[in-house]
Amino acid sequence: MDSSNNGRKTGLNLPAGMSGSSLHLDAFSTSSFRSTSNLSSPSKATCSDRFIPCRSSSRLHTFGLIEKASPVKEGGNEAYSRLLKSELFGTDFGSPSLAGGGPASPMSPSTNMLRFKTDHSTPSSPYSPTVLGHDLGGYSEASTPPKQTRKVPKAPHKVLDAPSLQDDFYLNLVDWSSQNVLAVGLGTCVYLWTASTSKVTKLCDLGPNDGVCSVQWTREGSFLSIGTSLGQVQVWDGTQCKRVRTMAGHQTRTGVLAWSSRILSSGSRDRNILQHDLRVSNDFISKLAGHKSEVCGLKWSHDDKELASGGNDNQLLVWNQHSQQPILKLTEHTAAVKAIAWSPHQNGLLASGGGTADRCIRFWNTTNGKQLNSVDTGSQVCNLAWSKNVNELVSTHGYSQNQIMVWKYPSMGKVATLTGHSLRVLYLAMSPDGQTIVTGAGDETLRFWNVFPSMRTQAHVRDTKVWSLGRTHIR
């Protein structure tokens, strides 16, 4: 029997070059098989021939297996559809070798499948190039594309000279206010740099017999506290550049300051922490004595309920609002604890960093005093700051890398490592919008880095005032 006769008998339109001998014919009785395919001869209702191609060498699209696109039901199971296609047509269905390579083939996937479509005629067809392309690429409505890693610029976008910025691990000479003004202690003077205009203002000069050891803005950003070499704590009106208060009490330099909503805490080389209340006339309202060496780290929790302090005695202490004794004594660090940061995302979560002999960032649950995690950073930890926009934190380091590192929490995977300072990065502050950090070092430079995403990119956030270096605008 020749191929033409076979074609008339079975109703099959054979591709060119294929003979009848290559066909496998199976006969089915009417009782066991009722043909619904247009492949059977219309003149014979009692018997039908079925063509079984060899998929490894044939071209499926030439046999008209797809007559009409099946509409996708609302709420249909796409994963089940893909599995069904794989079982019916094989895992190699849709590959370029089966499709014949022709650009006009209705089943040929586009080589640039994720960039443009090659067939717009049947967008709802489950075999359309767009859907097929997503299957080949591992993307579908039922699976989420892998999230791209956020890129952090490796170079600072602004560098400012900061002559006389001291290379002293125990001082805190840089702070950025909520009103977008940067305060920097340089020698005996404090300078204000307005980020929106780049205007520089000399706030004060303490004179030849004193020096600036710490600066800290109030949370509202209107008043700046200054700790001095002689142990004083001064409060200045940053808007009017006027001193409003001077408080004594420390015997020697005041190297660290921390504001809560109403209380200003100061830590000194005399090992004491003084609590100041500007609403009363006394220099201080209480004294916290718990450290055995200089207090160099001090931070209030975001809810004002707890105060964390770190010292050169390698201790991390936690105090509550009313106690005269620490409620927690955390002694796992083996070097001075200057770097302290409270998480803005979880109450009672505290991070601390140790000096050269320790090099670790440790995480604590202050509710029960347990250490949650410890990460060896490989170098002296000088500062920590937690992002308010995302659950990440930044650390600055000294010996021997002098780098800046951005971490994801709680995995502590590294997002970025930034370098540029030639000496240890002792000073760190964050912009009001939470996107930019400024770092300072004994190399007498201030460097500005864009490290965190904006609040606007996060889900379910409210409108906020956005400050940016060089200009101020409302989004």
Q: Which residue has the tokens 């000279």?
A: 161
CA 110-149-346 angle, 5° bins: 140
Band (131; pLDDT cuts 50, 70, 90): very low
Instruction: Give yes or no for a contact between 228 and 211, defined as CB atoms under 8 angstroms apart.
Output: yes
**Is 48 within the bounds of a domain?**
no
In whole angstroms, give the CA distance from residue 54 to residue 43: 27
**Is 338 within the bounds of a domain?**
yes
For the chain, the domain total comes to: 1
Question: What are 304-340's pLDDT values in tens digits?
Answer: 999 999 999 999 999 998 889 999 999 999 999 999 9
Ranked by mean pLDDT, which of 10-14, 36-40, 94-98 comes out on top? Answer: 10-14
**Is 276 within the bounds of a domain?**
yes
Residue 384: which domain range?
A: 158-456
In whole angstroms, give the CA distance from residue 475 to residue 456: 9
- Helix, strand or coil, per DSSP, at residue 131: helix
What's the pLDDT score for residue 130? 35
The domain spanning residue 345 has which CATH number?
A: 2.130.10.10
Instruction: Give yes or no for a contact between 191 and 203, defined as CB atoms under 8 angstroms apart.
Output: yes
More confident of the two residues 304 and 81: 304
Instruction: Give yes or no for a contact between 157 and 437, defined as CB atoms under 8 angstroms apart.
Output: no
Mean residue pLDDT across the chain: 79
In whole angstroms, give the CA distance from residue 400 to residue 12: 79
Band (283; pLDDT cuts 50, 70, 90): very high
What's the pLDDT score for residue 391? 97
181: pLDDT strictly greater than 60:
yes
What's the pLDDT score for residue 16? 55
In whole angstroms, give the CA distance from residue 389 to residue 457: 9
Instruction: Give yes or no for a contact between 212 and 184, defined as CB atoms under 8 angstroms apart.
Output: no
97: pLDDT strictly greater than 90:
no
DSSP H or E stretch at residue 4? helix 3-10
DSSP assignment, residue 103?
A: T
**Is 89 within the bounds of a domain?**
no
CA Rg value for the chain: 35
Ranked by mean pLDDT, which of 45-54, 110-119, 193-202 comes out on top? Answer: 193-202
More confident of the two residues 52 and 230: 230
- Would you state the torsion angle of the CA atoms of residues 161, 163, 167, 169, taken in this order, to the nearest 10 degrees? -70
What's the pLDDT score for residue 82? 75
Instruction: Give yes or no for a contact between 361 and 349, defined as CB atoms under 8 angstroms apart.
Output: no
**Is 57 within the bounds of a domain?**
no
What's the pLDDT score for residue 242? 97
Band (76; pLDDT cuts 50, 70, 90): low
Rounded percentage of the chain residues whose pLDDT exceeds 70: 67
Question: Which DSSP string corresponds to 434-474?
Answer: SSEEEEEETTTEEEEEE-S--GGGSTT----EEEETTEEEE
More confident of the two residues 111 and 417: 417
Residues in the chain: 475
Query: What is the SS3 assignment for 315-357?
Result: CEEEEECCCCCCCEEECCCCCCEEEEEECCCCCCEEEEEECCC
Question: What are 405-454's pLDDT values in tens digits?
Answer: 999 999 999 999 999 999 999 999 999 999 999 999 999 999 999 999 99
- Helix, strand or coil, per DSSP, at residue 250: coil
Q: What average pLDDT does range 2-16 have in this prediction?
A: 47
In whole angstroms, give the CA distance from residue 293 to residue 268: 9
Largest pairwise CA distance in the chain: 116
Q: What average pLDDT does range 155-173 have in this prediction?
A: 96
CA separation (Å) from 372 to 191, 307, 340, 364? Answer: 39, 19, 15, 5
Instruction: Give yes or no for a contact between 436 and 424, defined as CB atoms under 8 angstroms apart.
Output: no
**Is 84 within the bounds of a domain?**
no
**Is 163 within the bounds of a domain?**
yes
**Is 365 within the bounds of a domain?**
yes
In whole angstroms, give the CA distance from residue 2 to residue 23: 12
Rounded percentage of the chain residues whose pLDDT exceeds 90: 62
